Amino acid sequence: MDNPKIDTNGSVAWKKLFYYFLQGLIIIAPVGITLYIVFWLFSTVDNFLPNIIHSFFPDIIGIDADGNVKKIPGLGFIVVLLLVIFIGRISSSFLVSKMVELLDTLLERTPGIKFIYTSIKDFLEAFTGNKKKFDKPVLVNVDAPGTWRIGFITQEDAAVFELVDYAVVYIPLSYAITGITYVIPREKIKPLPNISSANAMKFAVSGGVADITEPIPGEEASS
C-alpha cells in the first residue's frame, strides 16, 4: 500500500504568508497606533471641550437646531497641539523630567506595551531630541563597486560585534517608512558634510525626486 503524499508546498506557502504578515504588522503597528492615538485625542477634545465652554460661557458656544452644543471644527487639533508644545516646554524642569522618567520606565517594563512604546520612542528620537541618530548623512557602498546608497551613521563603531574600523549605517528605503541596517567597513563610507540630514532623508525617501537646494561651500564665493 502506497503511503499518502504530503503536500509540503502549500504548508511552506502558508508559512511564508504568515511571516510576511508578521513583518508587515511590525512595520505598520507603531505608526498606526501613533496615528490612532493622535486622532483619538483630536476627536475626544472636539467632543467634550465645547460642552465645557458652553457650561461656563453659554454666549460663546450656542446650541444647534437639535439642541446639541455646537462643535468647533479644528478645536481639538489646536488644543492638542498647544498641549504638546506646553508639555515639551515644561519637560525641562526637574520635577516634570523625573515624572516623565518614571512613566517612561513603567511603560518600558509593561509586557505588551513595551515593544510598541519603545519602537515609537526610538523611531522619534532618531529624528529629534538629545539622542538624535539620523544626523550624519553618508554615501555607502553596499552593492557593486561605484554604486552608492544614501544612509545615516547611527553608531560610530561596531566594537560590540568585535569588528574594527566598521560603522553601523541605516539606509532608508524609497517611498517607505522602513529601512535596512548595515555594519559597513569605514572605507566604504563617504560623509556628506554639505548636505543636511533633512535634505538627505527627503532625497532618499523620495527616490531621488526631491531637490537638494543647499549650496556647497565655495560655490557662492566663486559665483
Q: What pLDDT, on the 0 to 100 scale, is given for residue 185? A: 93
Q: How many domains does the chain have?
A: 2
Does residue 1 lie within any of the structural domains? no
Grid coordinates in use for 6? 504530503
Q: Residue 222's pLDDT is what?
A: 42
Q: With respect to residue 131, please indicate whether it lies within any of the assigned structural domains.
A: no
Could you tell me the end-to-end alpha-carbon distance of the chain, in angstroms, rounded to an integer? 88
Q: Looking at the domain assignment, is residue 165 inside a domain?
A: yes
Residues 151-207 have pLDDT tens digits of 999 888 888 899 999 999 999 888 776 788 999 999 999 999 888 888 888 888 888
Residues 63 and 164 in one domain: no
Cell of 182: 548595515
Instruction: Write down the H helix ranges in 57-144.
Output: 75-90, 94-108, 113-125
Same domain? For 114 and 158 the reply is no
Same domain, 111 and 149: no
Q: What is the DSSP string of 17-61?
A: HHHHHHHHHHHHHHHHHHHHHHHHHHHHHHHHHHHHHHHH-TTTS
Asked if residue 56 is part of any domain, the answer here is yes
- Asked whether the beta carbons of 67 and 94 are under 8 A apart, the reply is no
User: Which residues have C-beta within 8 Å of that of residue 113, sequence separation ≥ 6?
Assistant: 107
Q: 160 with 76, same domain?
A: no
pLDDT (tens digit, 0 to 9) for every residue of the chain, 223 residues total?
555 554 556 677 777 787 777 767 666 776 777 778 778 877 777 777 777 777 777 777 777 767 777 777 777 778 777 877 777 776 666 666 677 677 777 777 777 677 677 766 666 666 555 556 678 899 999 888 889 999 999 888 888 899 999 999 999 888 776 788 999 999 999 999 888 888 888 888 888 888 776 544 444 444 4
- pTM comes to 0.46
Strand partners, 139: 150, 190
pLDDT for residue 216? 45
> In which domain, by residue range, is 214 found?
137-222
Instruction: Write down the residue that cell numbers 498647544 correspond to.
Output: 82
Statement to judge: residues 142 and 210 lie in one domain: yes
Q: What pLDDT score does 115 carry?
A: 67
The last residue of one of the domains, among 103, 125, 147, is 125
Same domain, 87 and 196: no
**Residues 44 and 106 both lie in one domain:** yes
Domain boundary among 125, 148, 167: 125
In a domain? residue 130: no
Distance between CA atoms of residues 152 and 195, nearest Å? 12
> Could you tell me the strand order of the sheet in which 189-191 lies?
179-185, 166-172, 149-155, 137-140, 189-191
12 and 120 co-located in one domain: yes
Q: 144 and 55 share a domain? A: no
Query: Does the residue 87 lie in any domain?
Result: yes
